[in-house]
Amino acid sequence: MLKGGKVELRAWQEEDVATMKTIRNDVRLQETLMSEARPNSIERTRQWLSEKTQHPDTLFFVIASTDKNQPIGFVQVTDVNKRSGWGYLGICLIPSQQAKGLGSEVLNLLENYLIQVTGLRKLLLYVVGNNTPAIKLYKKQGFKEVGVLKAHYKHSTGYQDVILMEHLLASG
C-alpha cells in the first residue's frame, strides 16, 4: 500500500468491485479513457480486476480515499518493458473526485514507487486531444507531448486527435 495525504494506492478488495463496476459501465468516463463501455456485471468486473493484477506486464492499484478507504478510481502501468524500463500509464478517477488535486497526488505516489521498486525510467501515455484537464495534469507532472495521431479516436463529438506523451522519471 502506498499512502498519501488524501489517497492511497492499494490492491483491490472484494468491497471495491461494486465501485469498479460503476466505473466500467460509465459510458462518458470510459470514452475519456479511450475504452469502449460494455455491460459489466459484478462477476465480469471481478474477473477484470483479477486479470489486471495477475498480468505479468501490468502494475495495477485501486485509488482509495485515506479517510474512508473508499475506492475512487484506479491507476495502472501496462505493457511494462522491463528491459528498456518503460510502460504505459493509465489513470481513472470517478467524476466526483476529479479536479481536486488527487490526480497529482496519485501520480507522485506512483512515480516514487516506480523509481524505488520497479526500476522503470519512463512512462508513456495516450490522451484524447480534447481532454484538456488531463493534459494540464500530465504537463504539470512533467509529461511532454511527443506526438499526435490525427483524427485517431472516434469520440461522441467526432474523430479526435490522440496525443502521445512521455515522462522521464527522476532516476531516469
- pLDDT, tens digit (0-9, with 9 covering 90-100), for 73-93: 999 999 999 999 999 999 999
Query: In the predicted model, what is the mean pLDDT of residues 132-151?
Result: 96
For domain 2-124, the question of CATH label 3.40.630.30 is answered with yes
127 - beta bridge partners? 163
Q: Which residue has the cell 504505459?
A: 88
pLDDT at 97 over 90: no
Domain boundaries, the chain: 2-124
pTM of this structure: 0.92
Q: Minimal CA–CA distance to 145: which of 130, 125, 131? A: 125
* Per-residue pLDDT at 121: 94
Write down the pLDDT at residue 171.
Answer: 57
Average pLDDT, rounded, for the chain:
92
Q: Is the pLDDT of residue 166 over 90?
A: yes
Helices (H), the chain: 17-25, 27-32, 42-54, 102-113, 132-140
For range 20-30, the mean pLDDT: 90
Higher pLDDT, 37 or 57: 57
- Assign 128 a pLDDT band (cuts: 50, 70, 90): very high
**pLDDT above 80 for 52:** yes
